[in-house]
Amino acid sequence: MIGKDIRIERIMDRNTGRAVIVPMDHGFSMGQIDGLLDMTKVITDVSDGGANAIVLHKGMVKRGHRKHGRDIGLIIHLSGSTSLNPDPNDKVQVCSVEEAIALGADAVSIHINLGAPNESKMLEIGANVARDCTRWGMPLLTMIYPRGKGIDPFSPQSVGHAVRVAEELGADLIKTNYPNDPEAFRKIVKACSVPVFIAGGEKTGDLESLKIIRQAVRAGGAGVCVGRNAFQREDTRTFVKTLCRVVHEESDPEIVLGHRK
C-alpha cells in the first residue's frame, strides 16, 4: 500500500491529518457556470488560498497545470452525468484509473447515489474502480450520497449507511452529507476506519458555511470538500484561506471573519 500512502500525503495535511478539497468538476454536469469560466485563475486562487487538493475531470488537467506558484494535490474525477439527462443522479464512468495515472493524479474520485434507480450500476462501477486503485496504488475518494425517493439525505441513518457502503467498497477517503447533528456525525466517523469529509453543498453565507464546517471537524471529520461555496465567492482566495484556518486550526469563524474580537 506504499503507493497509496505516498499519494495521500500529497492531499492530507501531515500535521492535522485533515484536508480542504475543492471539487471543480461541476462544469461537466452544469455547463459553463460562474466561478469556473477561467479555470487557470480559479485554480491559482484556490491554491494560493492554501487548499490541499482540487478535483477535476481529465480534460481540465492541462488548465490546472500552471507551471508556477504553489503546488496542489490533484484528484481526477471518474464519474459523470449532465443536468440535461432526465436522471442526473445516474452516474457513469468517464475516465479510468490508468488514464488518471498518466495525467499525474494523486488520487481519483467516483460518485455514487444510494437509492437512485441506477444504484446497482454505480456500485458495480465503484467496486471495479476500487479494484483498479488497489492494483495501481491509487487513493480512492468516494463521493457517496443518500439520494432516492422517500430518502432523507441528511438523516444520520442514511448518511451512516452511505459511509459504510463506501468503506466496504474499499474507499480510502469518503465525502458525504453532514447530518446537521455533531453527535450523530461523531458516531458515524468513529465507526469508520477511513477519513470522512463533509460536502460543501450549494452556496451559503460565509459565517453559516464555516460554522457547520468547524462543527463537523470538531466532531471528528477529516475536513471538507467544498466547491460552489468556494469558487463562486467574490474573493475565492480569501475565503479558502479562512476555510483552511477553520479546518486545520479549528479557528472560531466569527473571529476569523472579523465579526467579533
For the annotated catalytic residues, the residue numbers are 25, 145, 175
Query: The C-alpha cell of 239 is what?
Result: 475565503
- Spatial contact of 36 and 87, defined as CB atoms under 8 Å apart: no
In angstroms, the CA 108 to CA 96 distance is 9
Query: The C-alpha cell of 37 is what?
Result: 469560466
Residue with cell 451512516: 160
In angstroms, the CA 188 to CA 37 distance is 37
The length of the chain is: 261
